[in-house]
């Protein structure tokens, strides 16, 4: 009986390694920092103020309230920035908070001052944080006047004062509540183990905001923004997700996997036909997102914060992340593979059998359990 138990334990250890080879969850402790920012929230409000129907489904009342306060229905700066979104296929809040999130601004007044008196410091901070990109900076400079005009609109309407009086108290209540609950979730060792590399910091910073729905948005360096009134599972999973983006991006950039996967009509058509409001509007970004979502699912299953994988791959962003489902299916078949081995296996199976075959195998297996 003891021998059977001993063999069972060994088998469990072997099976449970896989993506998390050599994981020692006590190697490093995750430190959590939770805060808010009227500057970042004001930037996120711009999504709604454009009148985009995608955001009005979440913020109809706020649209009516703030367009009345700001008198912004026909503001030329907002109209121009919305045209940039359509032209470039970007998410306004994601793009602007990423460009501005490296700076220590906490209010719209701070941010407005930077645009007027110290604009070059935005570029300096982007470079210092490793978030600088020539093309992103080029577009950012092209729209400097419009962004500055939008900040002036908020500042003139006393956005910061209204924010701190009417919005921040609810956010602060959730910050205080979350701080005591989240400390027990140690996610950094899982993420570091996947790629065998240390993160730049073991501190995860969450900005809880009011106007960010439905997005969780990375602003670089283990920092991200999200809606202030979610379940704690969403915060944990968002944190895992956003911190994974950089190492996944670095890994994929040094492979030929994107080129190979683009040849798979099932995977590529899922990208071509996806709702552009979700972002991921180039194929590399879509595959990166699928890899991140798969790894997030695998880690969250270990931590007990996961949601049903079958439902997730069908519903996340209207089911566009088919490669995440393919990775998950290969993971269920070969759980002892590391992530690098797993993605190589998935790409090879797509090449030989077609991605749709593997995807359908996942749902056949779920249905016949």
Sequence ranges of the domains in the chain = 35-168, 255-367
Per-residue pLDDT at 180 = 86
How far is the first Cα of the chain from the last one, in angstroms, to the nearest whole number? Answer: 29
Task: Supply the DSSP symbol for 164.
Answer: I
Per-residue pLDDT at 279 = 81
Per-residue pLDDT at 18 = 75
Residue-wise pLDDT for 279-336, tens only, equals 888 999 999 999 999 999 999 999 999 999 989 988 888 888 999 999 999 999 999 9
- β-strand partners of 32: 204
To 5 degrees, how large is the angle CA 361–CA 326–CA 282? 140
Which residues neighbour 76 within 8 Å (Cβ) at sequence distance 6 or greater? Answer: 146, 149
Per-residue pLDDT of the chain (369 residues), as tens digits, is 444 434 333 333 334 467 876 555 456 899 999 999 999 999 999 999 999 999 999 999 999 999 999 988 889 999 999 998 888 888 999 999 999 988 777 899 999 999 999 999 999 999 988 888 898 899 899 999 999 999 999 999 999 999 999 999 999 999 999 988 998 899 999 999 998 888 888 999 999 999 999 998 989 889 999 999 999 999 999 999 989 998 999 999 999 999 999 999 999 999 998 888 888 889 999 999 999 999 999 999 999 999 999 899 888 888 889 999 999 999 999 999 999 999 999 999 999 999 999 999 998 754 444
Per-residue pLDDT at 368 = 47
Name the packing angle between helices 188-195 and 283-303 (round to 10°). 130
Per-residue pLDDT at 101 = 86
Name the packing angle between helices 322-333 and 283-303 (round to 10°). 40
Q: Decide the pairing of beta strands 217-218 and 203-209.
A: unpaired
| Main-chain dihedrals φ then ψ at residue 263, nearest 5 degrees | -80, -15
Closest CA to 299 of 14, 18, 98, 9: 18
Q: What is the pTM of this model?
A: 0.85
Cα distance between residue 326 and residue 317, in whole Å: 16
Per-residue pLDDT at 197 = 86
Task: Supply the DSSP symbol for 180.
Answer: H
Per-residue pLDDT at 155 = 96
Per-residue pLDDT at 346 = 97
Cα distance between residue 96 and residue 44, in whole Å: 8
Residue-wise pLDDT for 42-83, tens only, equals 999 999 999 999 999 999 999 999 999 998 888 999 999 999
Residue 31 three-state SS: strand
Cα distance between residue 286 and residue 116, in whole Å: 36
């Amino acid at each position: 009986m003891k021998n059977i138990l001993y063999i069972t334990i060994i088998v469990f250890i072997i099976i449970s390694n896989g993506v998390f080879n050599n994981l020692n969850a006590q190697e490093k402790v995750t430190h959590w920092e939770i805060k808010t920012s009227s500057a970042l929230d004001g930037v996120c409000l711009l999504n709604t103020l454009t009148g985009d129907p995608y955001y009005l489904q979440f913020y109809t009342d706020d649209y009516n309230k703030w367009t009345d306060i700001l008198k912004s229905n026909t503001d030329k700066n907002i109209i121009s920035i919305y045209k940039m979104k359509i032209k470039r296929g970007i998410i306004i809040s994601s793009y602007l908070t990423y460009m501005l999130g490296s700076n220590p601004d906490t209010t719209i007044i701070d941010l407005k001052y930077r645009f007027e008196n110290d604009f070059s410091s935005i570029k300096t901070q982007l470079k210092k944080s490793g978030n600088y990109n020539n093309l992103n900076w080029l577009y950012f400079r092209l729209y400097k006047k419009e962004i500055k005009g939008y900040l002036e609109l908020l500042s003139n309407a006393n956005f910061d004062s209204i924010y701190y009086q009417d919005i921040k108290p609810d956010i602060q209540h959730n910050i205080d509540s979350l701080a005591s609950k989240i400390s027990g979730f140690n996610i950094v060792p899982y993420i570091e183990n996947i790629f065998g590399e240390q993160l730049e910091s073991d501190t995860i910073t969450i900005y809880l905001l009011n106007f960010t729905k439905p997005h969780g948005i990375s602003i670089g360096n283990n920092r991200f923004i999200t809606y202030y009134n979610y379940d704690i599972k969403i915060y944990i999973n968002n944190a895992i997700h956003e911190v994974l983006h950089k190492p996944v991006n670095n890994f994929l950039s040094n492979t030929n996997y994107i080129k190979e996967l683009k040849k798979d009509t099932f995977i590529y058509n899922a990208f071509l036909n996806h709702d552009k409001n979700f972002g991921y509007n180039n194929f590399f970004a879509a595959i990166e997102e699928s890899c991140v979502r798969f790894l997030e699912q695998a880690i969250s299953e270990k931590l007990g914060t996961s949601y049903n994988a079958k439902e997730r791959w069908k519903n996340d962003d209207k089911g566009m992340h088919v490669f995440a489902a393919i990775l998950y299916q290969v993971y269920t078949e070969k759980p002892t593979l590391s992530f690098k081995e797993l993605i190589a296996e998935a790409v090879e199976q797509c090449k030989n059998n077609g991605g749709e075959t593997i995807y359908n195998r996942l749902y056949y297996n779920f249905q016949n359990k």
